[in-house]
Amino acid sequence: MDTLVYVDPSPRGEWALTMAALLPPQWRSSLLLLATLEDVQAHPELLGQARARLGAAGSIGESVLPGPAERAVVAATQARSYDLLVVPPAGRGAVTRMLKGSRVATVVRSVRAPVLVARRPPVRLERILAAVSGGRSTAAVIRMARTLAEGLAVVPSFLPVASALALPSPPEGHRGEGTPLDAVRARLAQAGVPAAHLLVRDGLVMDEVLEEFERGAHHVLLLGAPAEEAGSWGREEVTERILLRCPGSVLIVPRA
């Protein structure tokens, strides 16, 4: 598996290296350490130290590209395809994010590979939560969660959130058949996931996902990549909001 790890000299950069080191061995079989030219000029030992941190991994390459960070990551993925990108959050505050945009959100929107945004890594990666909507990215999220869990020899949990409004006497033909929850159940059954691994919550999607993540002391949250229609006029994508507010690591999975 080809994995790109973005190396950042800030303390958050350490999170990305630690998370990369916690990934299953086959996910680390071919690593590329990427840094910006500006960071390497300011910290010449940056890539060497990162290589030393990941020493036990398979083959490790290095790449230096002009910044800013999001531009370097996107340029690297355009030059070659990767199976996974590991990046730290930029740590921008709300005001800076409003002015400059979110760095990780830009990367997630621009690349077609899974992106692991590393935050506060645990000692061991054991508790995996996959938020599934029943929509078009659900199959890819289930597949990724299972692959990651098998590599770590752990059991993942799957969380659909029912945020539909319960209504008095819905119109004929809309009495609950074919709900997103039914779609999730069908996808999990297709993938051979036991029903016991399904956690169903009822409420606002963002709140319920984040609460379940904290309640279950999960280490990594898997989410489907933003839909193509997200960000268009009048519409908003839950994925990016959860990504920015989640206290732990988030793995964004693109649609198949």
Partner 1 sequence: MVVGLFLFILALELLKKGAGGIGPLLRQVGVSGIRGGLGVGWLAACVLLSGSPVAAMALTLLASGTLTTEETFGMIGGSRLGASFVVLAIGALDDLRAGRREKRSAYLGVAAFVVTAVVYAPALGLAWLGLSRGLLAGLRLEGRALAGFFEVVYGPLLAWLVGRLPRFVLFGSGVLVLLAAFRAFDRALPDLERRDSPLLDAGHVFYRPWFMFGIGLLTTALTLSVSVSLSLLVPLAAKGYVRRENVSPYILGANITTFIDTLFAGALVGHPDSVRVVALLMGSVTLLSLPIVFLFPFAFGHFVDRVASRATAGPSSILVFVGVLFLIPLLLIAL
- For partner 1, the binding residues (CB under 8 A) are 133-137, 162-171, 174, 179-180, 202-207, 223-224, 226-227, 229-230, 233-239, 241
Cα angle 103, 109, 110; round to 5: 90
Residues belonging to the chain = 256
Q: Which is nearer to partner 1, 134 or 248 (CB)?
A: 134
Q: Which is nearer to partner 1, 14 or 237 (CB)?
A: 237
Q: Chain centroid to CA 251: how far?
A: 2
Q: Which is nearer to partner 1, 17 or 252 (CB)?
A: 252
Q: List, in sequence order, every residue forming a beta bridge with 130; answer none if it has no partner.
A: 158, 222
Cβ atoms of residues 155 and 239 within 8 Å: no
In the complex, least distance from residue 210 CB atom to partner 1, rounded to whole angstroms = 10
In the complex, least distance from residue 64 CB atom to partner 1, rounded to whole angstroms = 36
| Helix 103-110 vs helix 238-245: crossing angle, to nearest 10 | 140
In the complex, least distance from residue 42 CB atom to partner 1, rounded to whole angstroms = 37
Q: Which is nearer to partner 1, 167 or 195 (CB)?
A: 167
| Among the listed residues 40, 107, 114, 43, the one whose alpha carbon sits nearest the alpha carbon of residue 75 | 107
In the complex, least distance from residue 106 CB atom to partner 1, rounded to whole angstroms = 19
Q: Chain centroid to CA 128: how far?
A: 11
Query: φ, ψ for residue 3 (rounded to 5)?
Result: -120, 130
Q: Which is nearer to partner 1, 63 or 179 (CB)?
A: 179
Q: Which is nearer to partner 1, 74 or 162 (CB)?
A: 162
In the complex, least distance from residue 148 CB atom to partner 1, rounded to whole angstroms = 20
Cβ atoms of residues 142 and 130 within 8 Å: yes
Cβ atoms of residues 144 and 19 within 8 Å: no
In the complex, least distance from residue 196 CB atom to partner 1, rounded to whole angstroms = 20
